[in-house]
Structure 1
Amino acid sequence: MTLADFNQLPVEQAREELRTCCASTRWATEVAARRPYPGIDPLLSVSDAVLAVLTWDDVLEALAAHPRIGQRVTGGDRESAWSRREQSGMDDSPDDVRAALAEANADYEERFGHVFLIFASGRSDVEMLAAARERLGNDEAAERRVVHGELTKIVRLRLERLFG
């Protein structure tokens, strides 16, 4: 899909296209409402601005659509394909690292109440495991800032894939 095509979509269809990049209803609604976009950079700027002001409940809605790091994503839809590609650093991961990451995911979810989110593109399994363990030491406020930043990087990458 081109950005010009996206600009012409009915509002509901535009929101659905955007929700493959970020599952926050508020984000998708606000980004769709600010069309037309003359280029990818203005779209990314609006996306960043909207992401920056999402409530924590909006972020949790987005997080609910993300698989756990290391979880093999199935499905033939665009979002599943992107998740598999983004987590390709796990493709050849040995069983002991997978088990350690599953444990870190569980510890993280118990501590923070949501999935561990990390910009996984270009990161190895060991790097993601180390990040999960390190972030377990964050307090709630610090971790929320990290999650916002990671979500912003993921959404930017997905928007660039969708319209690049």
Structure 2
Amino acid sequence: MAHTLTALDAFNSRPPDEARKELIACCASRAFAGGVAERRPYRDLDELLAAAEAAVKGLEWGDVLEALAAHPRIGERAGGGSREAAWSRQEQSGVEDEVREALAEGNRAYETRFGHVYLVCATGLSGARLLARLRERLGNDEEGERAVVRDELAKITRLRLVKLLGGER
């Protein structure tokens, strides 16, 4: 029986620069992309997802900020034709027009308080729920919020890796 080349097989066999480029679409930190690409080959999607989560959680804060810089504000539509922009528009599809202004105000307050974009895994959440989470997180101290940001970044990265490799999770 012949072995069929899977998306993971293709990812594992890509030249390092191509693998890093694909990983940047999932988490826009060069340290993340380099670290995960270096550890190839992965036996299965679960091994890749575990490595990606560990890599996100292990990023220096400057590397997290690099990844955050690629994310549009919640409630704003990502422009352009890149894979990341399309994924962002899909992830934020639950944001209703009537909450966009409140989200814009919340984003400004959050950025003033923490110095970076409010990041949340928006997939499946309504605009109202995203706004409620933003308001809750404004009460976090800096260290607590950094932990939440890492968790949210790991969730987004996981979803995007599954999309990249055509898996269902």
Structure-1-length-normalised TM-score: 0.96
What is the RMSD of the two structures over their aligned residues, measured on CA atoms? 1.0
Aligned partner (choices 115, 140, 143) of residue 141 of structure 1: 143
1:105: which partner in 2?
Answer: 107
Aligned partner (choices 38, 47, 56) of residue 52 of structure 2: 47
Superposition pairs of residues 1-164 of structure 1, within 5 angstroms:
2-90=7-95, 92-94=96-98, 97-163=99-165, 164=167
The DSSP-based 3-state class of the residue aligned with 1:89 is coil
Structure-2-length-normalised TM-score: 0.93
Residues in 2 aligned to 1:28 and 1:2: alpha-carbon distance in whole angstroms: 17
Q: Which runs of 5+ in 1 are unaligned?
A: none
* Off by >3 Å, runs of 4+ in structure 1: none
Residues 4-59 of structure 1, C-alpha deviation per residue, up to 9 Å, x if partnerless?
11111110111001000000100100000000112100000111111121111110
1:106 partner letter: R
- TM superposition shift of 1:142: 0.5
Residues in 1 aligned to 2:150 and 2:41: alpha-carbon distance in whole angstroms: 26
Residues in 1 aligned to 2:77 and 2:88: alpha-carbon distance in whole angstroms: 9
Q: Which runs of 5+ in 2 are unaligned?
A: 1-5
Residues in 1 aligned to 2:77 and 2:71: alpha-carbon distance in whole angstroms: 12
- TM superposition shift of 1:93: 2.6
Residues in 2 aligned to 1:73 and 1:45: alpha-carbon distance in whole angstroms: 28
Q: What percent of counterpart residues are identical?
A: 58
Residues 41-82 of structure 1, C-alpha deviation per residue, up to 9 Å, x if partnerless?
000011111112111111001000000000011211111110
The DSSP-based 3-state class of the residue aligned with 1:161 is helix
Question: Between Structure 1 and Structure 2, how many residues are aligned?
Answer: 161
Residues 111-153 of structure 1, C-alpha deviation per residue, up to 9 Å, x if partnerless?
0000000010000000000111111111000000100000000
